[in-house]
Every structure is written in structure tokens, then in C-alpha cells.
Structure 1
């Protein structure tokens, strides 16, 4: 039986259970609601948050739901779907997502990213939210670069929130303390 016949038979305007469902169409369960609440808290506090679950556990769906609920006049989402691009690629992505042209030299790119994040917050009144999906693939240098970006105003606050989303190995790596500040 063809897809079109199935849709016609059941009166569907589109196939159910697709990946492109609107967050409002999702089944709400306690784990999903808790993940959204944690993401929301992280965003409101301009903090670093970690969401982990096994493959297929709904992590990215929770991010979509939380992002949809944010006011675009007050927040800007910087979504990094593939973190295997290294520190330079990650910083370039952040700068470009905020509408700036990334500088060529890596030594100037980190300060440019920090300035772009701070300007978005201070000048435009929007809180950037860096969402790194598949964050278990981040290397130690990338984790350190993210941490350093959050050192703002003599470490008295951060002009943006970070949500690291990945498999349970991410939480295990973070617990090992390899990336702790010295």
C-alpha cells in the first residue's frame, strides 16, 4: 500500500510520527518535561547545563521544545549539530551565527566570539543560548574553549547560556574532572 493511500485512508494530512513534528504535537512524559524545565532554568540563569540520555532518548526533541518556548526577541539560539569541527570551527560558527564575519587568525577568534556574545547580550538585549548537540564528541580543547567563553566580567556572570546535549559518556567525562579549572 502506498504512503498516499495510507494517508488518504486514515485522513492524515501528513504522516504521523515523523521527525518534523511541532513540539506542541509531542507526547509529554515526566522525563521530557524535566529536561525542558532544566534547559529553561539553564537559559534563565545564563548557566552551563548538561542533558544526557541514550540514543533515541529524546534529547534533541527536548531542545526543540525548549527553544520553541523562548521569546526570539529576548533569546538567540546558536545550534551546533556537529561538534567535530574543532575549536576554530566552533568559534567561527558562534561568531557567524551572531551575524559577524569571523576573523582569520585563531588567536583573535576567541576574543571575537566572546565580544560577539557579550554584545548580543548588552547591546541587543538578547541572551545567546549555545546548544551543542552530540556534545559527547567534543574534545577537551573545545570544552575548555566553552568554559573560557563563560568567564565574563571577571567571572561574575556569563552573557550567554550553554546547553551540552549528548550521550551518557559526556556526563562521565565531565565527572572525571579532566576539564576542571586549575
Structure 2
């Protein structure tokens, strides 16, 4: 009823909205441009915003621009678990059977990233969503886990996404 009243072709804010149907607001275009820069520079980025502004939609739109033969996307929204859950989730995302000890998992993940980027020439893209709920220990381990060759190279793309207070 409201669709015909407002002359809408489909439901606004639907979960099945495709990126090509998105309203190209200044904020949306800016976020996509920042993610594209991150893709080219290979590094770490932060995407924050208020609830419902379209952070995850923007991440989905960005993911669709990535060539699957050049990029392997690992989407991980489980930010309320422990550090070991985080490590296991990343290992699964890399196609690895997780080891049991933290030190072994740490090495397994780093080697998996290096193998994927070095041997297979595929850039792993880690999208960690809902990170505003993550514990401090979780966030501290991210800095350790994604440190390669004494912090001189990034063989991956890492995107942390969450509510605005994640910046603090």
C-alpha cells in the first residue's frame, strides 16, 4: 500500500537491496572510496557509524567489487567471543583446521596469510564486523596477529567495522 502511495518500486531499506540500487549519498561514496583506497594500499581501516546507517551494506557492496580470483574475503562478525574464538574463526576463514594452543594458532594464521598472499597471489580481506562489542584483549591481539615482518608489510586487508564509539 505505501509503495504505491509513494511510487516506490521496492521496499526501502530491504535486506535484499543490491549495491547497484543504493542511493549514492556523499557518505556512502566516501566510504566506498576509502575502502577502495584500502584495497589498493593493503592495510588496515576502520569503518564506523551510528546504528542503521549502512555499514554492513557498504561492506557487502565493497566485497562485490573484489575479484574472487584475487581476493579472499573472510567476514567475521563474532566479536563477543574470546581471543581463542577469534583465532579459531580466522583460521577457519583461511581454510585451516585450527590448532589448539594460542601460539600454534597464531603461527598457523600468519603462515596461512603469507601462503595465500605469497604463493597463491590472493589477498586475504578480513572484515571484522560489530567490533564495538569486542573486549580490549581481543583488540590488542589484532595488533599482534597482523604484524608481519616486524611491521614492515601488509599481505592482507583488514577492516574493523562497528558503532561510532569503536574509535575510542
Query: Please, what TM-score do these two structures have when normalized by structure 1?
Result: 0.83
Deviation of the 1:119 alpha carbon = 1.0
Runs of 4+ deviating beyond 4 Å = none
- Aligned partner of 1:105 in structure 2 is 101
Once the two structures are superposed, residues 152-179 of structure 1 have per-residue CA deviations (whole angstroms, 9 ceiling, x without a partner) of 122211111111111111012xxxxxxx
Instruction: Find out whether 1:140 has 2:136 as its counterpart.
Output: yes
Is residue 48–residue 164 contact of structure 2 (8 Å, CA) maintained in 1? yes
Q: Secondary structure at the match of 2:60?
A: helix
| CA deviation after TM superposition for structure 1 residue 62, in Å | 0.8
Of structures 1 and 2, the larger Rg is shown by 1
**Aligned Cα RMSD in Å?**
1.9
Deviates more, 1:47-56 or 1:137-146: 137-146
Which residue number corresponds to residue 11 of structure 2?
16
Aligned to 1:38: 34
Q: Distance in 1 between matches of 2:114 and 2:143?
A: 15
**Do the aligned residues in 2 keep the contact of 1:150 with 1:157 (CA within 8 Å)?**
no
- What does residue range 68-79 of structure 1 map to in structure 2 within 5 Å? 68-79=64-75
> For residues 87 and 70 of structure 2, what CA distance do their matches in structure 1 show?
22
Q: Report matched runs for 1:15-164 at 5 Å.
A: 15-17=10-12, 18-164=14-160
Q: CA deviation at 1:137?
A: 1.2
- Structure 1 unaligned residues grouped into runs of 5+: 173-182
